[in-house]
Each structure stands twice: as structure tokens, then as C-alpha cells.
Structure 1
Amino acid sequence: MAKRGENIYLRKDGRWEGRYIKGRKWDGKPSFGYIYGRKYIEVKQKLTLLKVQFAKQPDMVRIYGNGTVAEWMDYWLEKLTRPYIGETTYYTYKTQIKTHIVSRLGAVEIGKLQPNDIQDLVNGKKDSLSAGMLHNIHRLLRSAMRAAHEKGLIRDNPCVGIKLPRNRAKTPRVLTRNEQQKLERTAVKKGAIEYLLCLYTGLRLGELCALKWSDVNFETGALYVRGTMKRIDGKAVIGAPKSGNSEREVPVPAFVLKMLRIRIKQTGGNGFVFGTGGKAASMRTMQARLKALTKGIGLEGVHMHTLRHTYATRCLENRIGMETLSDLLGHSGPQITLKYYAHCTRENKFASVRKLKAIAC
């Protein structure tokens, strides 16, 4: 047994063991170091010197012991971040951290991580990853290091001042009116009304797959987005919508509602609107079928999200306001909608001005 306050113990092998605090973990608990000796007085002297040494270096107590970037990223994701994000976002973060951050910087102690290390990471991956992905990786690392700084584990955030490639936002692919007409005719002919529903409600792919007949109100002419299909750890799972704003009521045009009435009679109206045998349709099947349809009529670059973009564009062309469109799309706010569709409002303004005619001439 140790003498009170000394942390020196006699081991079973006959040696004396001294324990001292060499740092603090993320939760404030001490990280211990150990020394050994054949004599009690030998260990006590070494322990006294070490305690004096660490007392003179208070910063050492604030640094996360010998904690590595890998250990801190794991704690930051699991304890500080996971309770506040969705499962899909969690697995996306986990994959990005493991693949791009830990694989390169994982063994580095967070107290020794330097901006040059992070800049080298960015430079080494800019030829293999898109600018958008590099910005995502940097954002993750910066957030984790900010949390470490706030907890006193590091003196400065090493992610500040990192040079990143310019992230140019791509203009979303939108069907022209002629292209939309061709796709609609083909979809009706093939009985693929799921794509018409997307074109006239703006549903996301996961929301379409999770749609149940109980979510469709034929009396009011609306459908209710109450769930979405997600891929979590490689498996398709139906859960809550992407966010609180994603849970919404969406009006359905009368001609699309008429097609749904026909379908409900054909399928019996149980379970999922576009599923079979009581099971929801898979997202991959939905995508593959659309690809086959568009390829058959000569349309290129059309994906499921293209239908959503087209819906939003047609709404703006018909003077639906940005706030209303934001609600229809399930965005968190009009600023998000404007970010994606600012080009549409600009085109509308120019088209409107071109219609003006001189009064005096």
C-alpha cells in the first residue's frame, strides 16, 4: 500500500512503482506516467524531480497527454458532434476522417500538429480530390481543432490560414421545357410516374423511396414528407427526414394526383407508393431506371436531383417566391434556396427587363 499522497506502490515483482500526472485527457481526467525502481527511496527521489518539473511547465497539464490526432478526432466525433447530427452525416464524417485525415495525420500528437502538416495534406490530395471535398475535410479538421483549443488542449488552431483551392459552385443541371416534355411523355408511356411526381413536387430521392400511401391525402391534394431513405454504413434505412424543415406538406398538381389514384387501385394502396411486396423501392433502382429512360430519349447528364432542380426552376419561372419555394423544397431557410437558384432569379430579371418597351418612341 502507498503512503498517503505519495502514489508509490510495492509491486508483486518486488519493484517499487511511482505514478505521476503528465497531462490531462479531453475529459479533464489525469493522464499518468510511471517510473520503477528496486528501492523505495530511488523511486521517491525520481518522482519528486518529475513533480517539480511538471509544476514548472503548467502548459503540459493542459495538453492532451500523448493524445494523437486520431484519438482526438474519434472523441470529437463520437462525444462532441454525433449527438447533434443525423446518422447519414455522422457516417459521412466518419468516413472522411478515417480516409483523409487519420490516414495521414493520425499518429501526430495534437499538441505538435502544425499548419504545415495540414497544408501538406491539402497539397497532397488536391490532384485526387475535388475542391469541394478538400473544403469539407478542412472544415472537419478545423472544427475538431477549435474544440481542442477551447478545452485548452492546444495553444492555437493549426487550421487557420490554410490555403485551399477555389470551390466554384456548379450550376445545377435543369431540364429545358422541351426536355421535360420528352421525359414526361416517356414516363407516362412506361408507367414511371415516380419521375413525374418528382418533377412536380421536388421530392428528394430518399423522400420518394420512403413515401407511403398514408402520406398522400387525395382530399386536400397534398402529400406529406415524413421520412426518408438513407444509406447508413452501406445499408438502406428509412428514418426521419433530413432536417426539421424537410418534414413538410407539398401540394400535388391535379393531373399527377389522377395518376396516383390509378396506381393506388392497381397496387391496393398498402405500404410504400413505389415499393413492391410491402418493401420500399431501392434508391439505386430508381436511379438506374431514370438513367435508362433518359438514355433512350437522348438526354444526357440527368440524375434524380436534376428533377428536383427542374421543379425549383419551373416554380421560379412561375413567380413563386423564394420563401415559399424554400418551404416546398424543405430547405432550412430562403438563403439556402437562393444559394442554389440565384442564377434563375437573375435570368428572370433580365427576361422581364427585355420585355420593356420605350413609351415615347
Structure 2
Amino acid sequence: MSNETACVTRRAKGDGTIFQNKKGRWIARYKRKGFPPKEFSGKTMAEAQAKMDEYKFLVLSGNIVNHLLPLEEYAVKFLNYKSKQVKRGTIKQATYDRIEATYENQIHDNPIVKILMCNLTGKDIQDFIDDLQDKYSYSTIKKCYEFFSALITYGLDDGDFPKDYNPMKTVELPSEDSVAVKTKEIEILPTEDLELFKKIALSRNSAGKLNYRFGPALVFALNTGVREGELITISKNGIMVDKNNHPYLHISETISRVKNRDPKINRKYVHIVTPPKYPRSVRNIPLNPEALHCLKIMDMTYTERNLVRSDFILTTDTGNLPTARHMQDTFDRILKVCNMQHYGTHSLRHTFATKLLEKTKNLRDIKTVAAIMGDDYKVIIKTYLHPDEDNKYDLVASL
């Protein structure tokens, strides 16, 4: 039996626990639902007891957060709240994973976490954001900014902070041009290589079997612009026809890779099927003849019953849903045979969008492309449309 166990003072539920550790110091531990566990140390039992009693008073009076909790402890309460939102279904598991990863990877080890919430100023947060400028991309920095903003908003809504508490008021994000890690340029497959790529992706061996099990799925993505997670979860129930008998694909699901929180599962990450992240991503995509041809090939090829859900079209030869790694590995093998450089599978979506936009003639057409892609049309313009320097002169000359 350890010294700690031998010296534990049994107390009523909710009073906390006091014990003497191996070094002879007295330790008081207190835990209350909704707050992180707190530990106090003293030379005497009375000293440890007094520190814990002061903390308990602040908890019960509702003043604990604003007076004593440093950022690192308040973050525990905030993340606990976000995890409960996952259970309630008001945010996605992937969203919570992203928030948690932002705190653990960029914020947790920074000295800012030692500052008491009541003393946290806009300058503290701004200095932290500015320090990230030389290390991270704009996207990562923005996630940190949003973490602080959400944490403080939560504290205000929960009554932990005074109504006039607003350290984010003066905090600014840097411009995308001023950060050290630049946003990666979009990848588009060269037009001259597309026919060869499709030919190899759909090729068969001498026995008539597909050389690449997921080759037709990649060509399907090239003709629909679906995101990788949407591609993996395309469903037989999602193939429909409109009133004019035009076939289309209804997108209402995607697959997400989330952190495993089940101790019974011996994996760091698991895949789950969820609705798309944004409402606009629930959409209908017209199917051209090549996309329909790919669906027909997949229907004939994937004879194994999908063990996740019988209406899912894509499946491995063991009946499971393929993963992003399956798709990228297949893509890499095809690109190598085509003697093409490496591309991520998202380049298929970029290529589809670029080809569509080449056909547009007005803003209405661009908005139609945005609806097909499941993006805001402003994002489409910013991502894919760039000024043509040579065309500037032709436009002005045409006046």
C-alpha cells in the first residue's frame, strides 16, 4: 500500500479528498461536474484544506472562472462542452476533432495558456497570432483565431465572463500574403493527358478484369466533381432522374476520418458516414454519358455486398468501404503508367470545375457551376477564375 493510500482522509461526497504524499506534503483534490479536476498542495493538512475551501467557494458562487482559471484549465471546460455537443448531434465529430487538434497542436504548449482568463487581453491573443505568422499557413492561423473567438463567446453565453469582456475586439488576422506557409495552388490535370488517363483507368487485363478496381470511380469523379468523401459514399439510392428524364446524382452524405474515442477499438482513427459539412453541399449533380458508363462498370464489378450499407456502390473485395488511401494509391498507380506527375485526388474535382467554367458565358452560369460543386459562387470565382492579361486588351478594344 502506498503512502498516498495510507494517508487518505475519507470525506463526504463533494467535499474533496485530502492525503499526504510520499514527500510528506499534504494534497487536496477537488472535482466538480463541468470543471477540470483541481489539486492543491500545502505543508500541513490545514493549509491544503484552506486552499481547497477557497476554490470550492469560488466554484459555488459562480466566480471561479473569471478569477482563478488560467486559459489551459478553461479550455478543458470549453472542450468538454464541445464534446457534449457532439453527443447531442449539434456539431460533428470531425468538427470537434479539428477544434481539439488546434488547441493541442498550436495553443497548448504556448505560454499564453498560463494567463488567467480574467487577465487575458487582446494584446496577448494578438501577440500569439502574430507569432504564428512565421510558422503556419493562413488556414491554421485562422483556426487558432476561431478557437479563441469560440471559447470567449462560450464563456460570455455561459455567464462566466462579464458582459463587457471582449478581448477579441482588437485582434486581427494577418493577410494571406503575409504568412510564411503559402496556400497550395490548386492542381489541375493537363488537358492533353485526360484521354490517356481515362483509358488507363478503365483498362482491363487479358482476362477482362479491371486493372484498377477503383479506376472507374476516379473517372466518375472527373465527370462529377465530387469530393473524395462524397465519392466513397455514392449510393444506389442517390442515382435519380428528373421530370425530364435527365439522370443525376443526389449528394447527401460523406465519409469523415475522425479520432477514435472508443477504447475497445484498437485504432487511432475510424471512418464514419455523416451529412456534408455545409448545407450547400447537399446537391444534385447531372450525370453525363461518361459518368453513367462508369456507374455501369462499377455495378458490374463490385459484386461483393457492402458490409457497411448495402446501397453504397463502392466496396473493397472484402466488402468494406474503400478509404482515401485506397483512392490515392489507385490514382498514383494510374498516373505512373501514364507517365504523369503526382497529383492528389482532389485535383479531379479541380479539373472538373475548371472544365465547367470554360463553358460559362455569364454570372448565372458561374452560379450554376457553384451549385453543382456545392460551393459559394464567390469561392468558385476566387479559386478558379483569374484575369487573362492578353484578353484585357481585347475587351477594352471591343468598346
Aligned sequence identity (%): 19
Which residue of the partner structure matches residue 153 of structure 1? 161
**1:173/1:301 contact within 8 Å kept:** no
Query: In the alignment, does 2:243 pair up with 1:199?
Result: no
Opposite residue 249 of structure 1, the aligned amino acid is: N
Which residue is equivalent to 2:234? 211
2:124 alignment partner in structure 1: 117
Question: What is the aligned partner in structure 1 of residue 264 from structure 2?
Answer: none
Contact persistence 1:69–1:102 (CA under 8 A): no
SS of equivalent to 1:97: helix
Q: 1:92 aligns with which of 98, 112, 129?
A: 98
Extract unaligned runs of 5+ from structure 2.
Answer: 1-31, 35-45, 178-182, 204-210, 260-268
Describe the shift of the 1:223–1:350 C-alpha distance in structure 2 as closer, same or farther (beyond 3 A).
farther
Gaps of 5+ in 1: 1-24, 28-37, 55-59
User: Helix, strand or coil: the match of 2:72?
Assistant: helix
Q: The residue matched to 1:195 in structure 2 has which SS?
A: helix
TM-score (norm: length of structure 2):
0.65
What's the offset of the Cα at 1:77?
4.3
Q: Secondary structure at the match of 1:223?
A: strand
Q: Distance in 2 between matches of 1:153 and 1:358?
A: 61
> Is residue 106 from structure 1 mapped to residue 113 from structure 2 by the alignment?
yes
3-state SS of paired residue (1:249): strand
Letter in 1 for 2:151: A
Rg larger in structure: 1
Letter in structure 2 aligned against 1:260: L
Are residues 269 and 221 of structure 1, via their aligned partners in 2, closer, same or farther at CA, if it must alter by over 3 Å? farther
Q: Per-residue deviation at 1:92? A: 0.5
Within 2, Cα distance between the matches of 1:62 and 1:204? Answer: 45
SS in 2 for 1:106: helix
Indicate the RMSD between aligned Cα atoms, in angstroms.
Answer: 3.9
User: Match for 1:256 among 274, 291, 301?
Assistant: 291
Correspondence 1:335 to 2:388: no
> Counterparts of 1:255 and 1:353 in 2: how far apart (Å)?
38
- Mapping for residues 153-302 of structure 1, pairs under 5 Å: 153=161, 155-162=164-171, 164-168=173-177, 170-189=184-203, 190-191=211-212, 192-217=215-240, 220-233=246-259, 234-268=269-303, 270=305, 271=310, 272-276=312-316, 277-302=318-343
- Counterpart residue type for residue 153 of structure 1: F
Query: Displacement, 1:206?
Result: 0.4
Could you say what secondary structure the match of 2:187 adopts? coil
| Number of matched pairs | 310
Q: Compared with structure 1, are the counterparts of its residues 167 and 298 closer, same or farther at alpha carbon in structure 2 (3 Å cutoff)?
A: farther
CA contact (8 A) 1:62 1:153 kept: no
- The answer as to whether partners of 2:233 and 2:255 remain within 8 angstroms in 1 is yes
Q: Is the 8 A contact 2:188 2:350 kept in 1?
A: yes
CA deviation digits over 1:301-357, x for unaligned, max 9?
Answer: 5111111111111111011712211211122x32333332232xx44x965974998
Q: Are residues 1:308 and 2:334 paired?
A: no
Separation of aligned partners in 2, 1:353 and 1:279? 55
How many Å separate the matches in 2 of 1:295 and 1:123? 42
Deviation at 1:273, TM superposition (A): 2.1
Q: Distance in 2 between matches of 1:215 and 1:134?
A: 37
Superposed, 1:336-355 pairs within 5 Å as 336-343=379-386, 346-347=387-388, 351=391, 354=394
| Local SS of the residue matching 1:327 | helix
Out of 128, 131, 148, the residue aligned to residue 141 of structure 1 is 148
Which shifted more, 84-93 or 68-77?
Answer: 68-77
Secondary structure, in 3 states, of the residue corresponding to 1:222? strand
CA distance in 1, matches of 2:324, 2:292: 23
Bigger Cα displacement from structure 2, 79-88 vs 167-176 = 79-88
Contact 2:251 2:283 (C-alpha < 8 Å) held by counterparts = yes
Match of 1:130 in 2: 137
